[in-house]
Structure 1
Amino acid sequence: MYEKMQSLIALWCESNGIELPKRQQNCRTKKYGGSCLSKDVATALIKLLCEGTPTGKKDAATAIFNLSIYQGNKARVVKAGIVAPLIQFLNDAGGGMVDEALAIMAILASHHEGRVAIGQAKPIHILVEVIRTDSPRNQENAAAAVLWSIFTGDPLQLKLAKERGAEAALQELSGNGTDRAKIKAGSILELLQTCPKTQQTLVHTALTPNYVLKSLIALWCESNGIELPKRQRNCRTKKYGGSCLSKDAAIALIKLLCEGTPTGKKDAATTIFNLSIYQGNKARAVKAGIVAPLIQFLKDTGGGMVDEALAIMAILASHQEGRVAIGQAKPIHILVEVIRTSSPRNRENAAAAVLWSLCIGDPLQLKLAKKLGSEAALQELSENGTDRAKIKAGSILELLQRMEWVDNL
């Protein structure tokens, strides 16, 4: 396979006066058969993809796909300008290159630079049409890889998908697509049903009025001799009813969470959860030290605060600082045990929110989850959990399988 790629690249470069680069030692050429993709070679392959004969285009697409399996090559081929011709192939349904374009886009979408470049090309309407009308393999690549990868990194793309009528197409795919397409279509539908700002599914619809939250905070601060901070102008207090969480208020709530009566702890947890719906408050709660007591509550299963701790961790895990702080606390073994033994709601929060958020952004957490035997627990959850837990457990299992496949290359 690599000999064919090398011959194809060499032939085209020779006919176009481009000197092949010398072998680079930092690309693991011995292990991967010379798989490092230089700028000149990437440019040559893309030109062949655009201007070659039908057979030449197919061969170039195959070479680009195989070379893009390796993470470093994804960024190189994106920088060389691969996305624009791929979008053109999708627009030209009669050109015979739709299958190849979707396969390459699916593999590039797993890389940050690939997701950004594909998103900037605004392909949502084309991908939705593919999901509606194309072959099962193309439906899977469009929904299970490209759309899902774009959506998890950019909430604005979710809004665009809603406007393009993606929900109906995805609903049909989640019932009649391939197994992988069903899982990813379900995940996208779940994202479409969450808050576009926080990407959190509402746990319940019984909202706590802001004046109740303010009264609870004021009462505790007064009883502990803490002066309430003055109103801050940068927190959109008019729009959100004073929902900004100051440093002093966050510390006060966390202290009540740790040292209060059982009722006080529950009230503090409810307040922290509701305030953390707003994105800026997640970082404030994390900086105030919320993660350590939450981990302690998870360890103390008889303390009656496991449900609340998991609910708060689930909402904090949607924020970068929350993910980092939770990951540093090394909770994987506790989360796996929750998935094995706890209630359906807790299993869903542990797997569908916290564990998924940690694993999708950090390969080291994914490896640790595998090492701690999460696969068996996730497999059982994907068969017997709530609908949301099934989808997220399936996504984590897919990440584990993909990691194992990459490690075996």
Structure 2
Amino acid sequence: MNNGFRTFVDGFNANFANVMVEENLREKMTSERMKDVLAELMNLSFPSGDVFKAANIFTVDKDKIDVLFNLPLELRRNYVVMTIANLLIFKLKSSLQKKFQMNIEKLPRFSKSIYGATFDGGSPVSDGGASLPQCDLVPLPEGHLSWRLNASKANWRDRKDLQRCATGELRLLSQCSQNRNVIADCGVVNLLVGLLHSSDPATQVNAVTVLLNLSIDDRNKISIANYANAIVSLIDVLIRSGIPEAKENSAATLSSLAKIEENRVQIGESGAIGPLVELLANGTPRGKEDAVTALYNLSKCRANMVRIAQSGAVAHLVGLIDHAAAGLVDKAVTILANLATTSEARIAIGQDGVSALVDVVELGSSRGKENAAAALLQLCRSSSKYCRVVLQQGGVPSLVALSRCGTPRAKEKATSLLNYFQKQREAYAGDK
């Protein structure tokens, strides 16, 4: 009996020792593997904050380590960005569910074909060590997952904090140009559009700033504009938000989207002109700059020229000529030159802007002089009364100088305007 028990104890101790040795080896291998992961993340030039986020995720989900090191070098950075963005999107989706219960039919999963092999960008279930509301995982048919959040573990403040944190991290991540397309492909835009209406100021600012960062890439300009309510929601921020930074970044996002021709009509038809003019009139210095830049891009569409003219923008644009920095003056004059091609705007410019345009021809930048001469040419051709104003303001010497020393386009516009004055004078003399 004692011999049997001793044999059992000896065997147990031996097995336990073997298990402990194996476990120690596994831990050592894991530790060495994590060192490799950290070294690789540093080699990929990630900021320290992103290194920590990614390291936390890889610590929880070891399979992602194998995926990372089996990918070609040129794809590893995108994989890490997708992994981090996927986690943040999961956090946002968790926080946005009413009563903290949700059935997500299909969360973003990233599949890429690499030389005939397929890897899965990973389930967003892993929280990478971050603090999330407790979840009960319930498997559904293949390709589906359901999360039932325990409401006792999260309250309204938790949701707000989670949204603020996740959008803040996305804001930092989207500052890097290499990350923007990857983040947009994760399906986050619709969540960000929804958060533009957040009652939490920091979350609203973060959401609109991420959209601004993503919109810098031309491909994203089209996809963001095509999301339902995206443009309308950005305009709503301009109208209703009490946060200057949110208004500024909303205007900047609309300006960025308006660099694509097909977006300009949609933005104008959605009612953006009036709120942008209001920001131009009463916004912060940066808000005025973002507003005039947006109006500049929108004014390249003829339908928007009429809207801008009818919105009362001309007086504010003329005001910028006397009180703004050179860059804003150039944009304001360019908008006036665009507007001067429409009959609706010429009346407003003629009432407020002829003398200011003459001053720009004399004292402005090369670009400003060029566009001021173009605007004056349009005005004078439309009515002789504007010719008289230009002559009364002493604009001829500046136009002569510009016709000799300006840019090719400036020379052309100044020469055409001087020739027009000459023809008008000859016609007047002939009538006598």
Q: Which has the larger radius of gyration?
A: 2
More strand by share: 2
Instruction: Normalising by structure 1, report the TM-score.
Output: 0.45
